[in-house]
Structure 1
Amino acid sequence: MRVSTASAFDASIANLQRRQQQLQDTQQQLTSGKKISQASDDPTGAARAERAMVSIDRVDANQRALEASRNSMTLSESALGDSNEILQQVREAMVAAGNASYTDTERAGLATKIAGLRDQLLTIANRPDGSGGYLFAGQGSSTPPFLDQNGGVSFTGVPGTIQTGNMDKYPLSVNGQQAWEQAATGNGSYVTADAPNANTGNPAKGWIDGGRVTDPSLLTGHDYTIQITGTAPAAQSYSVNDTTLGTSVISGPYTPGKAISADGMAFTISGAPVDGDSFTVAPSTHSLKVFDVLDRAVADLKTPLRGQAQISQSNSARIRDLDSVMSNLQNARTQVGEQMNNLDNSESRLSAIKLYSKSEQSAAEDLDMTQGISNFQNQQSGYDTALKTYAMVQRMNMFQYISG
């Protein structure tokens, strides 16, 4: 009978080494808390953990971009809020300037006040974003985007916005040209005005108000002229002509202060128009600039020796334009607010994705400590048993077997 051979000894040693390696691996897992230290430990689990880590890194990058966008949008929203507060002060000054008891000197004082508010507004329009750029520079500018020069303030930035390079494209700037220079002219649908080179030299001429829309479905977007003919008070008439089509729209006797309606529009000619006075109606455009409105208001208030009718007409037009630019800035502020809401929603979504990815990573590579300790104890018992068995087998030889 063969008691021991080299093969048996080799098998015992190999078994010991295998059990010792398993014990060391389990000890390392218990120490690190990870059941995967290298890809060969569990290729499938390692790939799963790697995908989770890539997702977490992507979320971290998106969160950094989101915070940069949030900082920019918060500063922009604050700047737009400050702008509307200043324009409200300008509007209050214009309303006060319409007071019939005010003198030219008092109106000039209000003009000085508005000029100072204009300068404050220009500072806000050129407010930096804290990172070397400007909030309203659009797609970027190394210099302040609004330049005050002869002829007024002009936008020197690049229209548009800067966005982050990630998939969600978070905004990093506001389109300054759109916010500050693209308000709707007139009442938002059409613009009324004196006809060019008309109504001059009349000491008590008439004027047209801003008008209103009575039926949006009837608006044509055409150009019109309103002609006053005849002498006051009973022989005057009006005619409304569509200059785009070259046709007459409506005509009738003119009554001061009574609205004239045509193609879904209604406007009123007041004062004392004379034979030949004419007015125009043109489609509204998005070309009204904040600083142009303020400059015209200052110039009007500094003009002396105007009659009350002229003052009322001028103030009415300036207040109408102020309301339009304030509404446009408020719309820009609303858009920024929507962006901030979207950022909040994106942040919640990114947090949920990151939590899920971390859970996936943990499930793939983290060790169940209870299971790990149990495995370690079982492996330790097995190793001790194998070690004792090997020691007993190693001491046996033929003579021991015979004598035994």
Structure 2
Amino acid sequence: MRVSTSSTYDATIANLQRRAQELSRSQEQMSSLKRVNRASDDPTAAARAERALAVEARSAATQRAIDASMNAVSQTESTLGDALGLLQQARDSVVSAGNASFSDAERANLAISLRQMRAELLTIANSPDGAGSYLFAGQGASNPPFVDTPTGVQFRGVSGETGAPSTEPLPLTMDGRSTWLQASSGNGVFVTSATQQAGTGWINTGSVIDPSAATGDPYSLSFTVAGGVTTYTVLRDGNPTALTDVPYQSGQAIEIDGLSFTVTGAPADADRFDITPSSASLSIFDVLDRVATELETPGRNNGQIAQSVATALRDIDASSAKLTAQRAVAGETLNRIDRAAERLSGQKLAAQTDRSQAEDLDMVEAISTFQKQQTGYEAALKSYASVQNLSLFQYLNV
């Protein structure tokens, strides 16, 4: 086979250029620490790395949403704790108001304290979240969601919750109406109240002794005093029941249709107490307004004061139970956020691992390859330099 000098030179130059390109590519990989620097290096690996990078970007966005929810819910949980502390102080004040030795002036002073606590609770209910909204704004509000009006505190937000914009259903706000204005009234099943109270008799909160017998109808308890004898009649939805003209005994439980309640003291003639179904409509602000007004009213007898105290304690406890339940929801949400953060961390790590496996460089292998390529390139250069002088023309010149 005839081998021309020019073809040999061309083949050798092409081989040197190929080796130089391979050496340059290895240098680029080692400097970038990546095996794949462009899609043409390895199309399959580049596509795999791009998918992993997209997962990382989504994870970063979700992490920001989780952080925002964590901050908001943590503030909400702490705020509800502050509110519960204030309600406990209010309860202690109401208990003190029941002291028979207190004067009207002393009860009026307690009423002032209760109004101050009520104002502080309103401030807490309008707590901002630090991001331009409010913790209890429901589905969002640019203004404080609770407004103090002549008829009481009103919720001007939108009921519901605002969620973080992510794949994880995490809240940024809590429903303020439900939290502050919709506790269960009474004992959760029925509400006892004094409609006409001229005597010293007062009714307690009552209880349910047989849930299956409860009718859900409204009842009323009216008293008659004649000839020094006090009797009572229980009406169901305005109609007389079997408990008609029953001799009254202070502190003795009155039971009807699975319900039990007790009247204590000496009711006057025509005194009346109502027993109505409970509803989720109890506002803590209305409770404090009512008890403060009653404590400010002078000349009330012991029965009326006892009724105010019993009713206030019942309603404060119901409101506290509602706030406690909402705080428990916030606590569980924080646990859910922690679990979501853990899942997200796992997803992000998996994406980073997948991306690394697709495009990162094995430095040990890369160094070994580079050294081999460098040695081969140097050998090719030396052999070319030696062979290029072995031609007929060079020989004849000698």
TM-score scaled by length of structure 2: 0.91
- In structure 1, what is the equivalent of residue 146 of structure 2? 146
What secondary structure sits across from 1:395 in the alignment? coil
What secondary structure sits across from 1:124 in the alignment? helix
- In structure 1, what is the equivalent of residue 303 of structure 2? 309
Contact 2:217 2:236 in 1 (8 A): no
In structure 1, give the amino acid aligned to 2:205. Answer: G
Worse-superposed segment, 291-300 or 64-73: 64-73
Q: Does 1:120 align with 2:99?
A: no
1:377 to 371, 379, 383: 371
Worse-superposed segment, 267-276 or 207-216: 267-276
Q: Tell me the CA shift for residue 322 of structure 1.
A: 0.6
What secondary structure sits across from 2:136 in the alignment? coil
> In the aligned structure 2, how far is the partner of 1:27 from the partner of 1:323?
74
Q: How many residues align?
A: 397
Worse-superposed segment, 107-116 or 217-226: 217-226
> In the aligned structure 1, how far is the partner of 2:7 from the partner of 2:44?
36
Task: After superposition, give the CA deviation of every residue in 1:289-328 in whole Å (9 maximum; x if it has no partner).
Answer: 1110010011000011111011001110011111111111
Equivalent residues in 2 for 1:321-336, closer than 5 Å = 321-336=315-330
Contact 2:219 2:234 in 1 (8 A): no
- In structure 1, what is the equivalent of residue 276 of structure 2? 282
Unaligned runs of 5+ in 2: none
Q: Does 1:297 align with 2:291?
A: yes
Q: Tell me the CA shift for residue 376 of structure 1.
A: 0.8
Task: After superposition, give the CA deviation of every residue in 1:171-208 in whole Å (9 maximum; x if it has no partner).
Answer: 1112111111011100111112245xxx36xx426432
Task: After superposition, give the CA deviation of every residue in 1:341-365 in whole Å (9 maximum; x if it has no partner).
Answer: 1111212221222222211111111
- In structure 2, what is the equivalent of residue 241 of structure 1? 236
Q: Percent identity, aligned pairs only? A: 47
- In structure 2, what is the equivalent of residue 267 of structure 1? 261
> In the aligned structure 2, how far is the partner of 1:254 from the partner of 1:127?
53
Note closer, same or farther for the CA distance 1:300–1:379 as it changes in structure 2 (3 Å cut).
same
> In the aligned structure 2, how far is the partner of 1:127 from the partner of 1:232?
59
Worse-superposed segment, 40-49 or 142-151: 142-151
Worse-superposed segment, 131-140 or 19-28: 131-140
Note closer, same or farther for the CA distance 1:2–1:247 as it changes in structure 2 (3 Å cut).
farther
In structure 1, give the amino acid aligned to 2:148. Answer: D
- In structure 2, what is the equivalent of residue 337 of structure 1? 331
- In structure 2, what is the equivalent of residue 86 of structure 1? 86
- In structure 1, what is the equivalent of residue 54 of structure 2? 54
> In the aligned structure 1, how far is the partner of 2:126 from the partner of 2:33?
55
Contact 1:194 1:207 in 2 (8 A): yes
In structure 1, give the amino acid aligned to 2:246. Answer: P
TM-score scaled by length of structure 1: 0.90
Note closer, same or farther for the CA distance 1:105–1:399 as it changes in structure 2 (3 Å cut).
closer
> In the aligned structure 1, how far is the partner of 2:236 from the partner of 2:167?
53
> In the aligned structure 2, how far is the partner of 1:58 from the partner of 1:6?
58
Task: After superposition, give the CA deviation of every residue in 1:106-150 in whole Å (9 maximum; x if it has no partner).
Answer: 101111111111111121112222222222222222221111121
1:253 to 233, 241, 246: 246
Equivalent residues in 2 for 1:4-403, closer than 5 Å = 4-194=4-194, 199=196, 203-204=198-199, 206-228=201-223, 231=226, 236=231, 238-241=233-236, 248=241, 253-256=246-249, 257-273=251-267, 277-398=271-392
In structure 1, give the amino acid aligned to 2:257. Answer: D
Task: After superposition, give the CA deviation of every residue in 1:214-233 in whole Å (9 maximum; x if it has no partner).
Answer: 23343333333345567476
> In the aligned structure 2, how far is the partner of 1:213 from the partner of 1:51?
61
> In the aligned structure 2, how far is the partner of 1:326 from the partner of 1:97?
19
Unaligned runs of 5+ in 1: none
Contact 1:242 1:249 in 2 (8 A): no
Worse-superposed segment, 270-279 or 36-45: 270-279
> In the aligned structure 2, how far is the partner of 1:6 from the partner of 1:252?
132
Q: Tell me the CA shift for residue 368 of structure 1.
A: 0.7
Q: Tell me the CA shift for residue 19 of structure 1.
A: 1.4
> In the aligned structure 1, how far is the partner of 2:359 from the partner of 2:240?
82
What secondary structure sits across from 1:153 in the alignment? strand
